[in-house]
Amino acid sequence: MLITFFRAIVLYIVVLIVMRLMGKREIGQLQPFELAISIMIADLASTPMTEIGIPLTNGIVPILGLLVMHLAISTLNIKSIKLREIICGKPRILIYRGKIDEEALRKERLTINELQEKLRSKDIVTLGEVEYAILETSGEVTAIKKPEKRGTIPEDFGIEPDYEGIPYDLVVDGKVMYNNLKTLGKDYEWLKKEMKKFKTKPEQVLIATIDGKGQIFCQPKGEKSV
């Protein structure tokens, strides 16, 4: 039992490292060759995890081999457009100028209902809202609404919003984010003074953030937002 437990931990660590080296794509964003490799890695790890008679190397070596294959294909994808089209395919336009391309749907073996489902995930309720819909190589659908259906933005009114920047975490679950303080040109003493305004200390804070305008949000542990 302990041997199986140990083998599972070793294989989990190896698979975790390999998946991290493969990149940060979400499962829904994987290219076909990446999904195939992911499935094969899971299969290769499962057998030596439970079969004590099989050496761990019988699972680890092929997994590392798949990692090398993934890195090689990814490099070739970057360098060759033609090879990228062969391996990953090409995006296909499903809706062009508001009209559904039935032939494109047939080639992609996609039904109208499936198309509607993918559009609803983009907060598009009816097909009449869509000017263009493109099926990406990852299987995701990119939709562009008709001009009259799009939400207004400040640019439409000739307004130029102030620069907002990006927010930074100052404290997370009582732990001070010193790297972020350094990036902001601040120190712990500054943070203590700011937290005093919320009648708390950094170590007693659940979450504290600062936005690009210098406004601080703070929620102490065990209390409601302030």
pLDDT at residue number 39: 81
Give the type of residue at 116: Q
Q: How many domains does the chain have?
A: 3
Q: Distance between alpha carbon 199 and the CA centroid of its chain, in Å? A: 37
| Domain contains 50 | yes
Mark whether 136 and 182 lie in a shared domain. Answer: no
pLDDT at residue number 134: 94
pLDDT at residue number 166: 84
Mark whether 104 and 144 lie in a shared domain. Answer: yes
pLDDT at residue number 18: 76
Of 46, 55, 61, 42, the residue nearest 8 (C-alpha): 46
Residue 137 contacts by C-beta under 8 Å, 6 or more apart in sequence?
31, 32, 88, 89, 90, 91
Mark whether 139 and 189 lie in a shared domain. Answer: no
| Domain contains 174 | yes
132 vs 143: CA distance, rounded Å: 6
Mark whether 52 and 118 lie in a shared domain. Answer: no
- Which residues constitute the domain of residue 52? 2-86
| Domain contains 53 | yes
Q: Please tell me the pTM assigned to this model.
A: 0.60
| Domain contains 226 | no
Instruction: List per-residue pLDDT tens for the chain, 226 residues long.
Output: 577 677 777 877 887 777 677 665 555 566 677 777 888 888 888 878 777 778 878 888 888 888 888 888 888 878 887 887 777 778 899 999 999 999 999 988 888 889 999 999 988 988 889 999 999 887 889 999 998 887 877 777 788 777 777 889 999 999 999 999 999 999 999 999 999 999 999 999 999 999 888 899 999 988 644 4
Mark whether 70 and 97 lie in a shared domain. Answer: no
Mark whether 200 and 173 lie in a shared domain. Answer: yes
pLDDT at residue number 226: 43
Q: Is the separation of the CB atoms in 135 and 92 below 8 Å?
A: yes
